Amino acid sequence: MHETFRTNITINDEDTEIRLFKIGHSVFTASIPNHSHGSNNYELHYIPKGHGTLILDSETLPLTPGTLFVAGPHLKHAQETESTDQLSEYCLNLEIKSKSSHFVIPSSLFINNAEDFASLFIAIFDEIKAKNNGYEKAIKSYLELILIGLGRIIDKERTESDKENEAGRSAIIIEECFLNEYRTLTLDELAGKINLSERHTERLLRKLYGKTFREKLREARIAASIDMLRNTERNISEIAEAVGYATYTSFSTAFRKETGQSPSEYKRKNNTL
Domain boundaries defined on the chain: 2-163, 167-214, 216-270
Residues 2-163, CATH architecture:
Sandwich (2.60)
User: What is the distance between the alpha carbons of residues 172 and 194, in angstroms, rounded to a whole number?
Assistant: 10
Gyration radius of the chain's alpha carbons: 24
Instruction: State residue 154's pLDDT score.
Output: 82
Q: pLDDT tens digits, residue range 199-241?
A: 888 988 988 899 999 999 999 999 999 999 999 889 999 999 9
Q: What is the per-residue burial (b if ≥16 Cβ within 10 Å, else e) of 179-218? A: eebbeebebeebbebbebbbbbbbebbeebbeeebeebbb
Is the pLDDT at 100 greater than 80? The verdict is no
Length of the chain: 273
Is pLDDT above 70 for 247?
yes
The overall average pLDDT reported for the chain is: 90
Residue 271 has pLDDT above 90, yes or no: no
Segment 47-96, tens digit of pLDDT: 999 999 999 887 889 999 999 999 999 999 999 999 899 999 999 999 99
Q: Which fold is adopted by the domain 216-270? A: Arc Repressor Mutant, subunit A (1.10.10)
Chain center to CA of 243: 28
- E strand or H helix that includes residue 242: helix 236-242
Distance CA 188, CA 59 (A): 22
CB atoms within 10 A of CB 162: 9
